[in-house]
Structures are given as structure tokens and as C-alpha cells.
Structure 1
Amino acid sequence: MVKEKLLKKIKNKEIKVGVVGLGYVGLPLAVEKAKAGFKTIGFDVQEEKVKMVNDGHNYIGDVVDKDLKKLVGAGMLTATTDFSFVKDVDFIAICVPTPLDKHQQPDISYVRASTEAISKYFTKETIIVLESTTYPGTTEELVKPILEQGSGLKCGEDFYLGFSPERVDPGNLIYKTKNTPKVVGGVGKDATEVIAAMYRAVLDGDVAEVSSPAVAEMEKILENTYRNINIGLVNELAMLCERMGISIWEVIDAAKTKPYGFQAFYPGPGLGGHCIPLDPYYLSWKAREYGFHTSMIESSMMINDRMPEYCVDRAAKLLNRFEKSLKGAKILVVGVAYKQDIDDYRESPALEVIELLKASGAEVSYYDPWIPKYRYHGKTVEGMTEISPEQVEEYELLIITSAHSNVDYVMLQKHAKVIFDTKNAMKAIENRENIEVL
């Protein structure tokens, strides 16, 4: 039987792996597959990424530079833009982006294009797994028909298909691809068993098996919608607490003393990263197909989406206290990464804050020790490469939008006229006369 044959090949490390999409999810996965003893080919449409991998040059923070160089040098990991090499692999993980389009609806064009490319070349007894975050039903309603039509092969008999959601938290010092538990849902029990065995042969984390790809797809949406809703709650409370003259940060610290029934979430200028700001939109979009409105989820999305505008309003009020107008004000934004101590600015709310400030007539500069420049709406924006006391003194307002640990907050406080700290990054600073917190 196909299942027994593949399980034996997995056990003997005879499976050749293909990873489609060499970004924040795909490259770390490809590295771990290769480190576990499986020869791996990375596929990407961007020639620059392919060249960097083949040269052993790392561009992802969660990948150890020497690991990549060693694997490439040993011939365990290669990369290509030529999808015809799909015919040479036994296991394919699809790790491509799933953004939102301009109408805030799922853009699954990358999944569709990758699946179509794979369908032209994959052969019998191939294992195919979608890891890209998407709406429930994508694997069976979109990916499966494309693979079957393009190849003439039948899912469950000629090849195995499943969904295993990526769980990547850039910058996490404890959980990486290697030790993060996985969830697997295959089209049929045999597919689930084989896919789970493949991940167990590579990863240290537990592998949980569920009954279908749809369950695994919904599970991933639940993970991030849970966070979206709770962050929306504290963001709304932050706005209320500001009116009431109460520190939301002190409230949360007090609530954290309860040893059960409470998990701390924190307010901020909005949500960033690929998953948390986007996943609820995937679910609410799919829910409408069933005549169902996800009212609680949509409410939290509305709250989180308005936080950049709220922060700009707060900045304007703060300047007014010093008889300054937002229009023409020199403002320095500190941090454009979507979370601390990483170089990832995908969906970062800081970028929207900057655009709103500029639209109001402010003169805006930014400083981020992790991100010297970024692209937003087709334009490249360059930041300050370093920051001195003299430079800080030139600005009428500093807005902190990322809580990086390698920023000299003591110096900022000492030389800034006034600071709006949206991340409570300066909580350890004793002199708070010129600091206002979200």
C-alpha cells in the first residue's frame, strides 16, 4: 500500500522534500527538514531569494546563519525558481503569502498559482501539505481540485493532501519551528497519518492529528482571532481609561496577579504581522457564505483598525497642550517593526501612524535600529541610521510605536520635549514629566 511505502521512506529518510515559498515560514521549515536528514529543494518565484539561499546567505531572523551555510555546502538544501523539479520530490509544503486585497478580502492568488505550478509536475505517491493561513475549506475546495485536474491523479489514492497551519512567531526566543507543536488534518486518515509522521521525523514539538483539513484551518483562525479579540478588548479599555484618568497598564498589571482565569493582553497603536490582523477577515468573509455574521470578531477588528487614527488624535491633543499644531510639527516615530526586536514590518500599525501624521501636515522622521528602510504603498522610506541627543531635541514630539530593547530610552526621555509612548516601552524610566502613555 501507498501509506506503508511512504511511512517506510520517512523512517529511512528517503523522502525528498520540496518547500514552496522561502519566506518567514518556508525557509525555517526547509532548514529544519534538511537538518533532520531529508534532502530539500526550496521553490520561490523571487530569483533574489533563490540566489541568496544557494549562496548560503540567510535573510530570515529565525534561521541560524551557519546552519544554512552548512546545509547548502553539504548539498542538503538547494533553491530554484524552476517548478519542474517538483517531479523529483516526495513531500511538498506550500508556504506562500495569503494577504488581503484592497477590499479586505482574502487574496489566495499565491496559493492558487503555486498549486497550479505543482499540479503540472508532481507524480504519484507525493505528499502535499498547505501551511499558508487561509479560510476553512481552502484545501479541499481549492487546492484538491486544481491538483487533481492538473495531474489526472486522484487524491487519497494516488497522492496525499492535507493542511498543517504554520506557527511562526518571529523573534520568539523560546519557540521556533523546531520545537513548536503542529496540527495536521489530512484528506482521509491515511493522509493524516503519513503527514503527521513526516512532521514527527523533523520536529521536536507534539503533532496533533485532527479529522480534516477544515478543522486544522479553523483551528489556525481560532488561535489568532482569540488574540485579535482580546487585544481589541484592551484597546477599547485603554481608550476608556484615558477618559477616566486611569492607567490601563496599571490595571492589567493588577489583573495579572490573579493566578487563574486571566491572561494579559496589552494595548498598542494597532495590530501587525501576517496573522493576527488578517485571519479574522478570512473567517468573517467565509462566514458570510453561510449567512452568518461574526459580530464579536468584526467589532474587535473595527477597534484594532482604528487604533492608528486614535494614536494620531492623541498626539494632536498632546501637542495642543504645548500650543503646537500637528500641522508643521516635527515628529520622530521610534520603531516601525510590528513587534519588538525584529526586522519585520508586515502590516505594522506604525506605518499607518506615519502616513496619517504626514496627511495631517506633520514633518515625520523615523528611527528603528532593526529597519533602516521600508516599502509601503509602493514607496521606499528611509529612516535615521542613528540618533543623537542633539537630533532628539529638534523634534516637538516623539512617538514610540515599537518597544525595542536596544533603544536608549533614558537618553530619549532626557532630551525629548514630549513623548507619546504607545507601547509602554519606557515603563522603567523614573522621570516621567515629559512622557504620556497610551
Structure 2
Amino acid sequence: MTNSVPTAVGGPVTETTARDALAARIEQRTATVGIIGLGYVGLPLIDAFVRAGFSCQGFDVDASKVDALNAGRSYIKHIDSARVAGWLSDKMFTATADMRRLAEPDVLLICVPTPLTDARDPDLKYVVGTCQAIAKALRPGQLVVLESTTYPTTTRDVMVPILESNGLTAGKDFFVAYSPEREDPGNPNFSAAQIPKVVGGLDEVSRDLACQLYGSAVAGTIAVSSCEVAEAAKVLENIYRSVNIALVNELKILFDAIGIDVWEVINAAKTKPFGFQAFYPGPGLGGHCIPIDPFYLSWLARKHDQTTRFIELAGEVNTGMPRYVIGRLAEFLNEAGKPIKGSKICLLGVAYKKDVDDPRESPSFVLMELLLQRGADLTYSDPHVPRLPSMRHHDLPAMESRELTDEFLASQDCVLIATDHSAFDYEQIVAHAPLIVDTRNATAGVTAGREKIRKA
């Protein structure tokens, strides 16, 4: 799948010849698309481009991921192994950990993590490291697109100087754009190919090439005037959700105090056919985007002597929810004459959202830490996460998911529903567990045994 470097006939590569050569390759589906970061964003992108007729190369520093994919094995639930095997058998995909091969693709899409530091500042080490690797291999005519969520100006001020360190000039020798990922794991209605892509370029040529590329593989493109607008659009999408989830979390605490069921309130309010969008409370925020990305903008605001009060307040409310849940659980156990210490508590669901296998930033890990600190005899069950993964910011003992037999449920003092997976049999859980603390309204359809259910 190695492509020759585009060259001008009888002369050096110019901006025009580089642009035209790449545009022709994209049009003819002969361009090779390189995806850096083979996770929950990278693999769905590969699927979209392979389906559109493009050959893809996957790059990842994790050799175990590379080996699995080259053997036709997927490690992500919504991209199954049969699909990966199909890419391989059709000779449309290969994976590598050799970053020296970054010169081979015509397009490089960067899909690496952008976490926060312990001080809640942006941590761009993965973006920086990836750009440094690209700079060593970068050749004229390539298009480099950052998809990782970040603060406005990252592409222009952080990424481009690193890429230009090898002597090539962005916008002339190679092209740069930003197009934020919009992956929604577990949503069967919107695969990567079905979600429109916002695209901003370092210049018009870069933007147009990126729009042409994505337009060949996804539902549509929305061209914006700059990388900064595209970066800001992604952060806005996640801030919108964070603030509204914080609002219903705060209302949940208030309504609990005065004996009103927040879930019933939301269900009533959402019958209004205009002017209202339902958001739902929970034990805290999870996933790589919503708990993290708003703080990228608040950090940028501080750099410009501005404040982002909504963002900061939403963060305070959402990060405080796990402690609220454990406080309520302690009250419910106390009603039964039991302390948390020594009580057998099984937490249901460690994935951050329903019916996915993605545990990133899951509030379940905070809940588990709080329960262990209080001396609980803790277990968990999650059909999508058979073993407790190692997490950067959580120090938890090794655990394996427990089977929810009638006998096991009956032996627990409390079952805490943290993630409302469809695979859980809620009628069985309510029938056999002595106390159920439900943070997701997962037991709403259960009629028998409701005296054992508590909302938190």
C-alpha cells in the first residue's frame, strides 16, 4: 500500500502540483489514509474509509493493539472482529507500530487522547509526540488532520510548528486541517460514516482537501473558516452537554430533598414539543469528552484573563455527584441498621455509559474508591467489562465481573446501579437483592419489590 511521493514533471513539487496530485488520489480512491491512534475513534474511522473504497494504514504505539488487528481481532465492541478480518482479507488495511512508515499514507488523521493533568490543565503530550513522529517522516503532498478534541489555536500554534521543524512549510509543501471526532460509542443510529464532519483548515486549500476526503466517506462536511472555529465547535458541543447534565444533577439533589422524583419531572417536561431537550442525572460524568473537554476552554480563558463560570460550576456539580450517591447509599443502609463498613456491595456497570465497553473516565471508579475507603466488601458486575482495567487516575484492586445469580444477589447487602446496561435483568435483581440503589432509573419498569428500590 506504499505510495510514491507525488512529484511535478520536470521540476520540484509546488503547492499547486501537491494539491492537484492529492485531490486526484482522493477522487480516484487511490489515496491511502493513515489513522494514528487505534481506539474508539480510530477504528470507526477506518471502517468508514474502507467502506468508501480507501486503503488504510493504522498506527499505534501499543504493539498489542497492532498485533490483534493484524490477526483480525477487534478489542472494541462496536467494531467486531469479523469486520476487521474483512478489511484484511480485502487487503484494505494493515496496522503497524513503526512510526517511520508515516511517510507512506497520503493522509494522516490524528486520533490520540487529550487528557487533563492533575491540575486540570490540557495535557497535549500525545498530540505533541505524534506530531514529532510525523515531522520525522513528513513528505511533500501529505494532508495532516487533527481529530483529537482540544482548545482553539492548538492546531495552528502547537501542531504546525512541530510539523514544520523538518523544513517543509504548511499550506505549501503539505496541508493541515482540524476536524473534531464526533464518535458516539453504543449508538446504533450513528456510525462514523453517518455523522457529518466539521472541517477547518490552516488555509482554504487545506480545508478543501480535507472536505473532499471526508466527503468521500461520511454523511457530509461542514466547512468553517478556520481551524480555531472547528476546535471551538467541538468544545461547545461538549460544554452544552456538561452544563445541562449539571443542571439536572443539581435539580435531582434539590428534588430528592423535597420528595419529588426528578425522573418523573423530566418525563413530564419532555412532552413539550419545542423549547426543551431532556438531559438525565446520574452518578457523575464519564467518557473521554464531556468530563474533560470543557476544562480545555476554561484553561484557555484563564490565559486570556477571562472567566468561564458556567463551565467551572458545571464541573463542580458533576464531579460532586459520586460523593452524593455514596452519601445517599449510606443513608439507605443505615435505615436497615447497617454501615457501609463490612457491607457486601455490588456495583453494576463500570463502563461510562449504557451498552458500551468503554470505561474511560467512568464515575464508577470514583464510586468504587469511595466505597473501598469506607470499608465496603466490594464487587462489581459488567457484561461488557469482564476485568477491571488499569486506569491512570484510579488505584483499584484487581477484580473480575461477577455473575448475577439469584444466590449472589441475595448475599449482598446492597446493589448499586451505576450503569444501566440492557443486559442486566432488573426484575431478577429487584426480586433477589435486599436493597437496590438506582442512579439511572433503570428499575422504572419493575413493578414487584419496589419497596426495596431507592433512587440516588
Show the counterpart of 2:227: 213
1:360 is aligned to 2:360: no
The residue correspondences of 1:24-173 to structure 2 (distance < 5 A) are 24-149=40-165, 151-173=166-188
Q: Which amino acid aligns with 2:301?
A: A
Q: What residue in structure 2 maps to residue 436 of structure 1?
A: 454
How far 1:84 moved relative to its partner?
1.3
Q: Please list the CA deviations of residues 310-344 of structure 1 after superposition, one character each: whole Å capped at 9, or x if unmatched.
A: 00000001111111111221111111111111111
Partner of 1:188: 203
| Structure 2 contact 379–402 (Cα < 8 Å) conserved | no
The CA deviation at 1:50 is: 0.5
- Identical amino acids, percent of aligned pairs: 44
Matched residue type, 1:79: A
1:348 pairs with one of 353, 359, 362: 362
The answer to whether the 8 A contact 1:62-1:176 is kept is: no
1:261 partnered with 2:275? yes
Letter matched to residue 219 of structure 1: A
Superposed displacement of residue 378, structure 1: 5.2
Q: Please provide the CA RMSD for this pair.
A: 1.1
For 1:191, give the aligned amino acid. S
- For normalisation by structure 2, the TM-score amounts to 0.94
What is the number of residues matched between the two proteins?
436
Aligned to 1:338: 352
- Give the aligned partner of residue 431 of structure 2: 414
Query: Which residues of structure 1 form unaligned runs of 5+?
Result: none
Change (3 A) 1:54 1:380: farther
Shift of 1:359: 0.3
| TM, length-normalised to structure 1 | 0.98
Letter in 2 for 1:372: P
Please say if residues 76 and 357 of structure 2, whose CA atoms lie closer than 8 Å, have aligned partners that are also in contact: no
User: Against the structure 1 CA distance between its residues 99 and 120, is the aligned structure 2 distance closer, same or farther, given a 3 Å change threshold?
Assistant: same
Give, in whole Å, the separation in 2 of the partners of 1:19 and 1:380: 34
Letter in 2 for 1:355: E
1:325 matched to 2:315:
no
Partner of 1:300: 314
Matched-pair contact (CA < 8 Å) for 2:252–2:281: yes
Moved beyond 6 Å, runs of 4+: none
Tell me the residue number matched to 1:232.
Answer: 246
**In 2: Cα distance, 1:433 partner to 1:267 partner:** 22
Whether 1:382 and 2:396 are equivalent positions in the alignment is no
Report deviation, 1:24: 0.6
Query: Does 2:252 match 1:202?
Result: no
Tell me: CA distance 1:385–1:324, structure 2 relative to 1, closer, same or farther (3 Å): closer
Deviation at 1:380, TM superposition (A): 5.3
Amino acid of the structure 2 residue aligned with 1:298: E
Whether the 8 Å contact between 1:373 and 1:380 is mirrored in structure 2 is no
Corresponding residue for residue 419 of structure 2:
402
- Kindly state the Cα deviation for residue 182 of structure 1 after the two structures are TM-superposed: 0.5
Residue 242 of structure 1 aligns with an amino acid whose one-letter code is D
* Deviation of 1:388 (Å): 1.1
Match of 2:33 in 1: 17
